[in-house]
Structure 1
Amino acid sequence: MSTALRILIVEDDFMIGIHLAEMLEEMGHEVCAVEATEADAIAAAERCLPDLMIVDAWLRNGSGIAAVETICRSRPVPHVFVSGDAASVKAVLPTAVVVEKPFRPEVLTRVIQRLIDGMAAP
């Protein structure tokens, strides 16, 4: 992957968050924060200005979808939702990019690369 991104992870399962962070760092990206709540995700996005967000759609404390909507009102940020129930995310946001949990690292890598390619497009 040629473009290193500053990535915000929003995931309320600690182990999945750590695993995602390690995987993204191995891919050459910088993980600027791993947050577990809607409020913390919004604060982290303001603080670290991520290039990309990987967001669990359904959080125990708030909503990843609501966090993304709030963050993107002030500054559009490409994002990928991860969810054990991709159909529910698509029902709420039909155009969302969703990776179904559990996922293999290469699936997430491909999705991130597609987003990078889209960002580079004129």
Structure 2
Amino acid sequence: MTALRILVVEDNAVIGMLLARMLKSMGHDVCAVETSEEDAVAAAMRCSPDLMIVDVILRHGSGIAAVEKVLQTRHVPHIFMSGAPVQPGRRGCVVLQKPFGEADIATAIERAVEASAEA
């Protein structure tokens, strides 16, 4: 798989750091790790990611709302992650259930990129 520029949105600092480290070890570039809806939207505009990996529930705002705001200005493939069951809101939406390992994230990235290409 081609290296991607990835924006991580996760309000748990440890999980965000571990996910960024995992993605880097897989050969991807993590352009930012943000913790709130507002910061996620600003980072997406600033760093133009190839992919967003977003926690559904944030302490400050909503990961889903952040993605919706970004999608109003540009299309970005995205993965929602959650510790609770989540029903995808739209066709082709990729949801990654926590906890997950490297193989799970690799599969989710592949699915999100493929779904984006079909859209």
- Note the C-alpha offset of 1:13: 0.3
Residue in structure 1 matched with residue 69 of structure 2 by the alignment: 70
Alignment of 1:60-99 (within 5 A): 60-87=59-86, 90=87, 93-95=89-91, 96-99=93-96
- Note the C-alpha offset of 1:120: 5.3
- Note the C-alpha offset of 1:42: 0.4
* Structure (1/2) with the larger helix percentage: 1
Structure 1 unmatched runs, 5+: none
Structure 1 runs of 4+ with >4 Å offset: 118-122
Quick one: structure 1 residues 120 and 73, their matched pair in 2 at CA, closer, same or farther if it must change by over 3 Å?
A: closer
Residue in structure 2 matched with residue 102 of structure 1 by the alignment: 99
Q: Does 1:116 align with 2:113?
A: yes
Query: 2: CA distance between counterparts of 1:37 and 1:72?
Result: 17
Quick one: structure 1 residues 121 and 26, their matched pair in 2 at CA, closer, same or farther if it must change by over 3 Å?
A: same
Residue in structure 1 matched with residue 7 of structure 2 by the alignment: 8
Query: 2: CA distance between counterparts of 1:118 and 1:38?
Result: 24
Identity score, percent: 54
Further displaced range: 41-50 or 105-114: 105-114
| Secondary structure in 2 matching 1:66 | helix
Aligned length: 118
Query: 1: CA distance between counterparts of 2:33 and 2:51?
Result: 13
Residue deviations 1:61-111 (CA, integer Å, cap 9, x gap): 000000000001100100000101133xx16x1533111111122111111
* Contact 2:55–2:63 (8 Å) recurs in 1: yes
| Secondary structure in 2 matching 1:74 | coil
Residue in structure 2 matched with residue 42 of structure 1 by the alignment: 41
* Contact 2:94–2:111 (8 Å) recurs in 1: no
Structure 2 unmatched runs, 5+: none
Residue in structure 2 matched with residue 56 of structure 1 by the alignment: 55
Residue in structure 2 matched with residue 18 of structure 1 by the alignment: 17
* Contact 1:42–1:67 (8 Å) recurs in 2: yes
